Structure 1
Amino acid sequence: MALQLNLKKSAETLRLSLDKAGVAPGLKAELIFDMDVSGSFEHEHEEGTTSKLIERLVPYGMVLDPDGQMDVFSFSHGNENVHHVGTVTPNNCENYIIRNVIDKVPGWKGGTTYSYVLERNLQHFGWLPREQSGGFLSRFFGVSRDEPAAVKKRSVVVFVTDGENDASDLDRTIQVLEASERRGDQVYFLFMGACEHAVDFGFLRTIAARFKNTGVVIVRDLDGFVELSDEELNAQLLGPELLQWLRN
């Protein structure tokens, strides 16, 4: 009950921050939370820090998402290790990663590639068709079929990683973001690089500077970040570019 009351208070503080920034009360955007489950991030998951991070982001779903919830995807390396974990709400957010992700998702403690989960996000929000594996006849005749795209939804992706993208995936990630920009997808990607070690996150900085619908937040102390006040947390996450995107 105390957590729920705190989340309600945090949601009210967030709404106030958005009001001050000129974001209309009726504006809605679907939310996705992408969580890196590569081996180097294991400690933060197991000690509960990333579960606390999800709790701190639940108010964003409460305020912005039409359904008041946030979809959670896990990823490590490759398309086969992208996984839709489920939705997080005020009722189920406590210890969410501990209960639903650790040792349970594909690619747990794997490597790190960004492009495949970003592609899956765009499919989930309806900006890309979902790939459908064809049967024997479609393979025989060389016909590839896609499922119709879902309804296109204005959306925000919060993408959390503790490491650089694998070199083999850099170009593919750029291609996914370039194609999204060309289509005019109404999606904003907020990348969070969370690592206390000497990871530069140069690639995240590059794509944040290159695309108008991408931002980056570098967090060197994730334990400290999840303990910030609501006002401090909002100030870190709601950068000028994201606020402008929400106002449009």
Structure 2
Amino acid sequence: MLSTGVRALVTGAASGLGRATAERIVASGGKAVILDLPSSNGADVAQSLGSSCHFIAADITSEEQVQEAMAFAHKNLGAPLNTVVNCAGIAPAIRTFHPKRGPHDLDAFTKALMVNTVGTFNVCRLAVPEMLKNEIEGDATRGVLINTASIAGYEGQVGQVAYASSKGAIIGMTLPMARDLAKSQIRVMTIAPGLFLTPLLEGLGEKVCNELGSTIPYPNRLGNPSEFALTVEQIINNPLLNGSVIRLDGAARLP
């Protein structure tokens, strides 16, 4: 179980993997701040989780807004953050070149990199000064940064060039960031989920979801967001997990 001392900022937590993570943290006695866009239902989610959860609307690519979120978290959680879970992201589906539509839209490619990669890095770098305020003893962890990539970062499919690039970059930053922050006793881990039953896939319908789930060797189904949250818990609780990427995919490999 999670320590009751967990004070987490979870981005993209109004739904899907981020919401499941915030729910698990609070249910285990920790405290969480949900960060999501103003248009999200983050405020309702936070209210449903009780007094240990708070919502702040912010754009993760904005230095000013993320700094405000860090200050908000410190104030509402009663102490500096010791956990960040980055789940915010977008998944455009555009081919590098389409016979009828032409070349990949450059703005769409740039936006995917900005939100998924730059946004993740922005939250991480601005969380470090907060984590450094935590007083610890010996070789205890001062904080842990947990980022979300995707198995598409290894095996991107047709139309995923922007998404796969952005997630591959998150995979690539994991080890050097962990090395950068080792002397500060801050750990860095990345989870690369496979196919999960999130609102994005649910919108495709039950038949499509069942077909996608059937492609996963074992368990022969889509992942449940609660299983992602369980992996977050295990990372938080295991001090030797650092600088690595965990594929959470039931042995799936994208064709």
> Under a length normalisation based on structure 2, what TM-score does the superposition of the two structures give?
0.37
> Under a length normalisation based on structure 1, what TM-score does the superposition of the two structures give?
0.38
